Structure 1
Amino acid sequence: MKLIIIDTACANLASLKFCLDRLGFNAKISRDLKDLENADKLFLPGVGTAAKAMSNLESFNLTNFIKNTKKPLLGICLGMQILGDFSEELDQETLGIIPFKTQKFELPKEYSLPHMGWNEVASSHPLF
């Protein structure tokens, strides 16, 4: 199975690759359209602002492919946010694949953003 981690140039790509490798998958990090077209499943990670991620994807000529692909696509963190229509952070239009708007959190001071931590992933999950 060909797993491609889309290189947004604004994500911790190595951590995701190492995670997938530990689960027994041989994922590749790429922004090459041919790699994405030949993938069985795609991962769209991201860290930072939606504006930077969208700018990078546009400069890599990947937005149309991502918007139109029928391949399974998992957005992680900022990658999930840009699957929506719009991000309130810097008033950024995003990919518009899923109809939602990413809104800013209004939280009490005792809560910190962003959430920093690790969550568990199991290789038996249907995603894989």
Structure 2
Amino acid sequence: MKTVIIKYNAGNVQSVMYALDRLGASYLLTDDEAEIRSADKVIFPGVGEASTAMAYLRERGLDKLIPSLKQPVLGTCVGMQLMCRYSEENDTTCMGIFDIDVRRFPNDAGLKVPHTGWNNIHTLRGPLTEGLTDNAYVYFVHSYAADVCPETTAICDYVRPFSAMLHRDNFYAAQFHAEISGNVGQRILENFLTL
């Protein structure tokens, strides 16, 4: 099985590679269109700022390539946000795979922004959450989040309920960092790799 990690202007790639190493999965880090199209699974991770990352994707045509993929695709953190329609972070038009906007957490809610650390996810559904129990804990680092919508497959409550996971067709996404979310994150990655 060929797994590709999309290489673009966003951090966190190394921890994704370590997580795949722990699972014994072989992978390739690339931004080459032919390599991405020929992959069995595609992972679109990210840590960074939405408008800069989208500009990089557009420069390389990845903003058109990613939505056209037919194999299972998993976006995480900023990768998930860029798969949405729009982000309030620097007024950024994203790829629109998920028809939902990404909004900043307000600073006046009495909770720290960014949302950093372990938090639970609930109302789980879909193939990536198979084998998990409701209220499983995962690791978040973000100031922006997608609202709850029909494509939501896990919810987290912080400032407001938000989409911790999304799924539509062959596209899957997680706002948290599955690669550093312990056994829960490992199970999610295993579920993705065995789709």
TM-score between both structures, scaled by the size of structure 1: 0.91
Residue 116 (structure 2) aligns with: 115
AA at the equivalent of 2:9: A
Question: Any gaps of 5 or more consecutive residues in structure 2?
Answer: 118-138, 140-179
The question of whether the paired residues in 2 share the 8 Å contact of 1:23 and 1:122 is answered with no
Q: How does 1:1-128 map to 2 (within 5 A)?
A: 1-107=1-107, 108-116=109-117, 117=139, 118-120=180-182, 121-122=186-187, 125-128=190-193
Question: Any gaps of 5 or more consecutive residues in structure 1?
Answer: none
Residue 63 (structure 1) shift: 1.4
Task: Give the whole-Å Cα distance in 2 for the aligned partners of 1:125 and 1:43.
Answer: 13
* Secondary structure, aligned partner of 2:95: coil
Task: Give the whole-Å Cα distance in 2 for the aligned partners of 1:123 and 1:77.
Answer: 14
The count of corresponding residues between Structure 1 and Structure 2 is: 128
Residue 62 (structure 1) shift: 1.2
- Structure with the bigger percentage of strand: 2
Residue 34 (structure 1) shift: 1.1
* Secondary structure, aligned partner of 1:96: coil
AA at the equivalent of 1:122: R
Task: Give the whole-Å Cα distance in 2 for the aligned partners of 1:95 and 1:87.
Answer: 10
Residue 52 (structure 1) shift: 1.0
Q: Structure 1 residues 7 and 124, CA, compared in 2 at 3 Å: closer, same or farther?
A: closer
Residue 126 (structure 1) shift: 2.5
Task: Give the whole-Å Cα distance in 1 for the aligned partners of 2:70 and 2:13.
Answer: 23
* Secondary structure, aligned partner of 2:11: coil
AA at the equivalent of 1:54: M
Q: Write out the 4+ residue segments of structure 1 that deviate beyond 3 Å after TM superposition.
A: 107-110
* Secondary structure, aligned partner of 2:79: helix
The question of whether the paired residues in 2 share the 8 Å contact of 1:8 and 1:45 is answered with no
Segment drifting more, 109-118 vs 41-50: 109-118
- Identical-pair percentage: 31
Task: Give the whole-Å Cα distance in 2 for the aligned partners of 1:126 and 1:48.
Answer: 26
Residue 158 (structure 2) aligns with: none
Task: Give the whole-Å Cα distance in 1 for the aligned partners of 2:188 and 2:110.
Answer: 37
* Secondary structure, aligned partner of 1:42: strand
AA at the equivalent of 2:104: K
